[in-house]
Amino acid sequence: MKVIHLSVECFPIAKVGGLADVVGALPKYQRKLGIDASVVMPYYNRPFVTENALLNIYEGSFSQGDEILAYTVWKEQYDTLGFPVYLIYIEGKLDRPEVYCYPDEAEQWIAFQHAFLDWIVNTDNKPDLINCHDHHVGLVPFLIKYAYSFQSLAGIKTVFTVHNGQYQGWLSWDKAHLLPSFDGYHGGLLDWDGVINPMATALKCCDRYTTVSEGYLEELFVEANGLQDLFKHERAKAIGIVNGIDVEFWDPAIDQLLPLNYTSTTVKKGKEQNKKIFCEKVGLPFDIPLLSYIGRFAFEKGADLLPELIREMYSLNENKIAIFILGSGDDIIQGEIANIIQLYPNQVSVFFGYNESLAHEVYAASDMLIMPSRVEPCGLNQLYALQYGTIPIVRNIGGLKDTVIDIDHDNGYGFVFEELDIKNISLTINRAISVFNIPKSLESIRGKAMKLDFSWDKSAKKYVALYNQLLK
Ligand code: ADP
Rounded distance from Cα 24 to ligand 1 centre (Å) = 14
For the cut 80, the answer to whether the pLDDT of residue 169 exceeds it is yes
Please tell me whether residue 275 adopts helix, strand or coil conformation. Answer: helix
Pocket of ligand 1 (CB under 6 A): 17-19, 21, 294-296, 326-328, 354-356, 359, 378-381
The CATH number of 2-246+457-471, from 3.10.350.10, 3.40.50.300, 3.40.50.2000, 3.90.470.10, is 3.40.50.2000
Q: Whose CA is nearest to atom 21 of ligand 1?
A: 295
Please give the full DSSP string across 172-233, using - where no structure is assigned.
Answer: -GGGGGGSPPB-GGGGGGGEETTEE-HHHHHHHHSSEEEESSHHHHHHHTT-STT-HHHHHH
Rounded distance from Cα 238 to ligand 1 centre (Å) = 25
Rounded distance from Cα 50 to ligand 1 centre (Å) = 25
For the cut 90, the answer to whether the pLDDT of residue 270 exceeds it is yes
Q: What is the arithmetic mean of pLDDT over 423-429? A: 95
pLDDT at 320: 87
Q: What is the arithmetic mean of pLDDT over 173-178? A: 97
pLDDT at 316: 76
Q: Whose CA is nearest to atom 20 of ligand 1?
A: 295
pLDDT at 317: 63
Residue-wise pLDDT for 390-406, tens only, equals 999 999 999 999 999 99
pLDDT at 319: 66
Q: Whose CA is nearest to atom 26 of ligand 1?
A: 356
Degrees to nearest 5, angle at CA 357 with 361 and 301: 80
Where does CATH 3.40.50.2000 sit in the chain? 2-246+457-471, 267-453
Rounded distance from Cα 472 to ligand 1 centre (Å) = 36
pLDDT at 21: 97
Share of the chain above pLDDT 70, in %: 99
pLDDT at 389: 98
pLDDT at 120: 98
Please give the full DSSP string across 47-66, using - where no structure is assigned.
Answer: HHHHHS-EEEEEEEEEEETT
Share of the chain above pLDDT 90, in %: 97
| Phi-psi domain of 194 (left: phi exceeds 0; alpha: psi -120 through 50; beta: other) | left
pLDDT at 175: 97
pLDDT at 52: 97
Cα 382 to Cα 397: distance, rounded to the nearest angstrom: 12
Q: What is the arithmetic mean of pLDDT over 274-302? A: 97
The CATH number of 267-453, from 3.40.50.2000, 3.30.930.10, 3.40.190.10, 3.90.180.10, is 3.40.50.2000
Residue 377 and residue 162 in contact, taking contact as beta carbons nearer than 8 Å: yes
For the cut 70, the answer to whether the pLDDT of residue 86 exceeds it is yes
For the cut 90, the answer to whether the pLDDT of residue 318 exceeds it is no
